[in-house]
Amino acid sequence: MVYDDITDPFRRLVRIMERLQEPGGCPWDLEQTHESLKPYMIEEAYEALEAIDSGDDTALAEELGDVLLQVVFHSTLARRTGRFTIDDVSQAAAMKMVRRHPHVFGEVEANTAKDVLVNWEKLKHAERKAKASEAGSDEKPKGLLDGVPKELPALLRAQRIQEKAARTGFDWKEVGPVLDKVAEETRELKEAVAAGDKRHAHDELGDLLFTLVNVARFLELDAEEALRSTCAKFQRRFARIEESARAEGRHVHDLTLEEMDARWEHAKLDEEH
């Protein structure tokens, strides 16, 4: 075992990563940059989500370790060039948690989760304003929605944008009018399709999806997770179609649409029972 004398598991991980990036360390690790590691950060996060969905605690612990490894990797890269260290990262996170939880560590009252989120956004806005003032920046202040990462999957990004806007009071009062809006956007999409206007159809499809995300938010559902679940369901049922075809010595391409529809319904009934 390497560095067994370091009893703190986190410190041992940090030291191992430092060794990999020291002279004589791992050639691959030494070649990496923050930019080259970006895909791995995203990949590890999604693998952690899969582990959560599986309900396997062993797998989740392993995948969370991989996410942590990415944080340590980036911090070690920054340490090599004297920019910041893992301690700076940890300290910044700790200070942020204390600063944004004045209802726990201070005198502010927040009796509901909604109160906490509203206060969180106010604190974030104040922090951004203070940073801009300290830097003497003449740049236009960032808007409330600018903090939603552009790299997020579109459904998740739409839900985060809507959540942030809603905390300012810019929101529907109840789900009924939102469902009416779904019908309206569906009608407008049909009209664009009927007109053969692909550009207009593109815009109307986006509007419909955005409105459906609003429905999910009102129902306290995660739109991204709902679609992920449906994708998994579709994949599972389609696999049943393939399996039934193979059992007859056929390939799915050999099936007619009617045969596939019948097998789909059979797979659907099996799942429901």
Q: Are 39 and 70 in contact (CB under 8 A)?
A: no
Note every long-range contact of 63-72, with CB atoms under 8 Å and residues 24 or more positions apart, other chains counting.
68/13, 69/13, 69/17, 69/44, 70/37, 70/40, 70/41, 70/44, 72/13, 72/14, 72/17
pLDDT at 27: 96
Q: Are 40 and 69 in contact (CB under 8 A)?
A: no
The tokens describing 75, both together, are 């911090």
The tokens describing 168, both together, are 């300012």
For residue 273, how many other CB atoms are within 10 A of its CB?
5
Q: Are 32 and 73 in contact (CB under 8 A)?
A: yes
CA distance 81 to 98: 29
pLDDT per residue rounded down to tens, the chain (273 residues): 689 999 999 999 999 999 999 999 999 999 999 999 999 999 999 999 999 989 999 999 999 999 999 999 999 999 998 999 999 999 999 999 999 999 999 989 989 988 898 888 888 878 877 777 776 656 666 788 888 888 889 999 999 999 999 988 899 999 999 999 999 999 999 999 999 999 999 999 999 999 999 999 999 999 999 999 999 999 999 999 999 999 999 999 999 999 999 999 999 998 887
pLDDT at 93: 96
pLDDT at 139: 63
Q: Are 232 and 271 in contact (CB under 8 A)?
A: no
Please state the φ and ψ torsions of residue 37, each to the nearest 5 degrees: -90, -10
Q: Are 245 and 256 in contact (CB under 8 A)?
A: no
pLDDT at 142: 74
Which one-letter amino acid corresponds to residue 122?
A: K
